Structure 1
């Protein structure tokens, strides 16, 4: 996982931008992600860069209006004023913040790339490659589905194995034994040889029209059908069946 000055039992509480500045400077981190401790769909996430001269830039979907109110927007924007970045972080801090190192990702066709891997009952069943020109690869924020086969080929060419990448996701899911389905954000490092787990999402299965990986046990099934099949393994598929009522069928 990415290094974080806010992880662990003795991690300090982040009360605002001043704490973020101090913690990242102390850890030697010039590029970090600042995230809500509990959130989804990149809400309240900022990709923050600090130059050697101390200038700050943040990329985020957070919109701040003239009254200082925050809104989650579908348009990713950049803030280049430290005063604006500080105001956003200060407003988010009461909900709890997590800070982690911003890891350089692998690239496909000039776009940053990562993977969302769905793990059901401990087994990686679905995967999608997400690419973006911004640090936020979420598909609803302008990210696009990339070429998964090309990514697998890049991993092999770098001397790695696709199965190892899936096993990383399965080990991450095993840390949450009470959750039967999770969506793991797997971050391939530059060069496609190493991987880190960015997040484990409780609601990471919204992947329309995506069917299961070959050999993953959910071939031909989308993420929801795969979960139903895992819950009721002996139940036949009901799609297209009819029931006789005596006078009509439905």
Structure 2
């Protein structure tokens, strides 16, 4: 039986290109690419019956971004609720294409793009996660922190990605009143925009203004988890799973709270983590348990934090499109990248794709 792939993505996006290369290298026909712009503008989605359909990231295409959250500067912070509403409606359109099977369950993707719901799913499954609460304003945030006796938190937009709008907030315990907020958000030309330079704010009115700007889209507040240090910085890991099994990983180190590589984070020494057998086993076990919460998703990117004691392990997030680790982090020893691993899992290992949207998740 011939296998035919199709991809919903942005033509020219690196993810789409790498998946296409993996499919062709496996001796299969080049995947059909359905642009997100077609999905979001209501155009007919003609996909050959029997196709295995991969849903990929909308990427950084300015036109697609405008369709998702409205016109504006693509680098702007905010608009996550509108983005999410439009995005999940697009997922429903994709899931309704007749005769195709999805390699990523549409409902599960929707859950992974809502940090509050994803955290709840993981917690119910017994996956270790930092304690968290939701906030609707700066005043609500501070009240929630005071009620719990927390002085350090991560404030995350419910539907953000790439650390957009994320704030690492430290508040001095009483009787002090100093605070420090570290974020990549910057006030530029009358609006909040993402910057490649992480900065710190110490004036409460600045922090209040940013939090209250983000709050209408929903805020997920996590207790600060003290992370282990490596290479002169704290670190976390992105662990990619394929068909529920951890296959690739990368260590991300940074001297600031955010370890994202585009914000100055660096790839760290994975061997230093793997050299601790008990710790490494916990990392893999926790990653697999997180992936098991999303059984209809061929691949997940699990963000794992190792505690400063080098023993405790928690999951920060699970990413639906977290497999972009080209040429790095193969932990299975087979020499395949994340995309080749996914193609093999489908073609040779028989990963069961779904034809339904939201099986058990929405």
TM-score range, shorter chain: 0.7 to 0.9
Matched positions, count: 220
> Mapping of 1:66-85 within 5 angstroms?
67=190, 69-85=191-207
Q: Secondary structure at the match of 2:308?
A: coil
How far, CA to CA, are the matches of 1:17 and 1:161 in structure 2? 37
How far, CA to CA, are the matches of 1:104 and 1:225 in structure 2? 35
Could you say which structure has the greater relative contact order, defined with CA pairs below 8 angstroms and 6 or more residues apart?
Answer: 2
5+ unaligned residues in a row in structure 2: which ranges?
1-128, 351-362
1:146 Cα offset (Å): 0.5
Q: Could you tell me which residue of structure 2 aligns to residue 98 of structure 1? A: 220
Does 2:165 match 1:50? no
1:39 Cα offset (Å): 1.5
Alpha carbons 2:282, 2:313 under 8 Å: kept: no
Q: Could you tell me which residue of structure 1 aligns to residue 342 of structure 2? A: 227
5+ unaligned residues in a row in structure 1: which ranges?
7-13, 236-250
TM (norm. structure 1) is: 0.84
Match for residue 296 of structure 2 among 178, 194, 199: 178
How far, CA to CA, are the matches of 2:314 and 2:227 in structure 1? 10
Question: RMSD of aligned C-alpha atoms?
Answer: 1.6
Q: Secondary structure at the match of 1:98?
A: strand
Does 2:267 match 1:145? yes
Q: Could you tell me which residue of structure 2 aligns to residue 136 of structure 1? A: 258
1:110 Cα offset (Å): 2.1
Match for residue 201 of structure 1 among 300, 319, 331: 319
Q: Could you tell me which residue of structure 2 aligns to residue 88 of structure 1? A: 210
Alpha carbons 1:211, 1:221 under 8 Å: kept: no
Alpha carbons 2:301, 2:318 under 8 Å: kept: yes
Q: Could you tell me which residue of structure 2 aligns to residue 62 of structure 1? A: 185
1:234 Cα offset (Å): 7.2
* Shift in CA distance, 80/174, structure 1 to aligned 2, threshold 3 Å: same
Runs of 4 or more above 2 Å deviation:
none
